[in-house]
Amino acid sequence: MAKNRRPRLTRQSVAESCADLALDRGRSGTVDLLFRAIDELAHVHDPIWEDVSALAVVGRSIFCTCDETATIERVMLDTRGREAAEHTNFALGEAFDLPDGPSGEMDIEGLAIADGYLWICGSHSLKRDDPGEDGLEDMADIDWDPNRGFLGRVPLVDRGEGVFEPVAAIDALDGIPGRRAGMVKMRKSSRTPIRKMLAKDELIGPFVEHPCKENGLDIEGLAVRGNTVLLGLRGPVIGGHAMIVRMERKETRPGVLKPRKLANGRRYQLQAVDLDGQAIRDLEWQDDRLLLLTGATTDLEAMQSVVMIADYDPDRTVYPAGLLARVLDLPAIRGSDHAEGLASIRIDGQEKLLVAYDSPHETRTDAARRRLTTDLFEVAGGAAPQDRPAKVRKGGRKRKARSPNNA
């Protein structure tokens, strides 16, 4: 039987030539995020500095979230670009009617900023109980937290000097239209609009009722531009391909968002990205480039990288390896530092990548200061392998280029 051989992600030497920087170049600096005490915060019961799951940056405002809460945290970058403090907590239950209340776990895994809004996305995933006194009987329980089915946005008010504040609504002023918070309809049951929609998909459907981290449906990346909303999936990974769900949103009535129908007759389009079996842990627009933070679908140590799509096409259904550029490799450390949040940030006039980690190494946290240390990385150029000039062999003959698979 013939084997299905598809292009693989490029070797390190080729990838470094494309990125114009060493892939394992190490961090160029750090930013310490400093938080207030738990008892000073509304609807927060876990140490935020131990469990930051998503990042978004605008001006000096660094937005992040702990996946155990239904709140957004904002810290302000100092003038040196080394610390971010002045922590402010925003409870989403004050802007939205959440089915599990303002303290119910939302498992926020995606943050994005676009057109004056902060977008927020829950994982939409089921979770399996850990083994307890009843052993395997506990593991048989699969739970749904209703707040996990959240996808919405809140307006950002520009307070000046790089300070942006989330609010429920902004009134119209001097001919500028007003803005209001909005979300996709939620419900108590797991049959939320997005889960219900994807349950009917021939590829994603079989995995919707599987728990997260077991190749079940698990949204961890969010990128927004205009009306386009991209959801990056940690699971499922199908045939070695990570999946992106593209939707074009519309506001059907004040405060209510809904995906509109696309040319394919559905309210979404799947895009498969050949990441050699890795999953998507976050998405980030950087100018016209779409960056994918990659990692493991399950709870294990694995390679983790930043991969770039230089010329994102919303209508393309398959991104083969030949259209991707690997621009950064992050170290795999047993038991800690699982890269989970990615954002672009400007420090000293230079664009950098800010990375936060799940299960942070003990050196990254300080309970006394309520500190979490995040990493800064230089931004690579990054051309896809097929876009590099063909190499010339001795004798002047050019290597024959492989044509990548297309949609």
Give me the amino acid identity at 305.
Answer: S
Whether 404 has a pLDDT exceeding 90, the answer reads no
pTM of the model: 0.91
Whether 219 has a pLDDT exceeding 70, the answer reads yes
Given a contact cutoff of 8 angstroms between Cβ atoms, the answer to whether 183 and 193 are in contact is no
Given a contact cutoff of 8 angstroms between Cβ atoms, the answer to whether 156 and 180 are in contact is no
DSSP state of 266: S
Confidence of residue 10 (pLDDT cuts 50, 70, 90): low
Dihedral angle computed from the Cα positions of residues 351, 355, 356 and 360, in that order, rounded to the nearest 10 degrees: -130
Q: What is the mean pLDDT of residues 380-407?
A: 48
Q: Which residues of 2-39 are buried (b: 16+ CB within 10 A; e: fewer)?
A: eeeebbebbeeeebbebbebebeeebeeebbbbbbeee
Given a contact cutoff of 8 angstroms between Cβ atoms, the answer to whether 273 and 294 are in contact is no
Confidence of residue 172 (pLDDT cuts 50, 70, 90): confident
Cα 199 to Cα 196: distance, rounded to the nearest angstrom: 5
pLDDT given for residue 283 in this prediction: 98
pLDDT given for residue 12 in this prediction: 72
Q: 190-203: per-residue pLDDT in tens?
A: 999 999 999 999 99
- The answer, yes or no, to whether the previous bond of 254 is cis (omega within 30 of 0) is no
Given a contact cutoff of 8 angstroms between Cβ atoms, the answer to whether 107 and 148 are in contact is yes
Distances (CA, A) of 158 to 161, 162, 170: 8, 7, 11
Confidence of residue 135 (pLDDT cuts 50, 70, 90): confident
Residues facing residue 219 across a β-bridge: 233
Q: What is the mean pLDDT of residues 99-107?
A: 94
Helix H, strand E, coil C: the string for 64-84 is EEECCCCEEEEEEECCCCCEE
Q: 42-97: per-residue pLDDT in tens?
A: 888 889 999 899 999 999 999 999 988 999 999 999 999 999 999 999 999 999 99
3-state secondary structure of 363: helix
Dihedral angle computed from the Cα positions of residues 161, 163, 169 and 170, in that order, rounded to the nearest 10 degrees: 0
Considering only residues 407 and 279, tell me which one the structure prediction assigns the higher pLDDT: 279
Q: Which residues of 214-240 are buried (b: 16+ CB within 10 A; e: fewer)?
A: bbbbbbbbbbbeeeebbbbbbbbbbee
CA 174 to chain centre: 35
Confidence of residue 389 (pLDDT cuts 50, 70, 90): very low
What DSSP string describes 152-171?
Answer: EEEEEEEEETTEEEE-SEE-
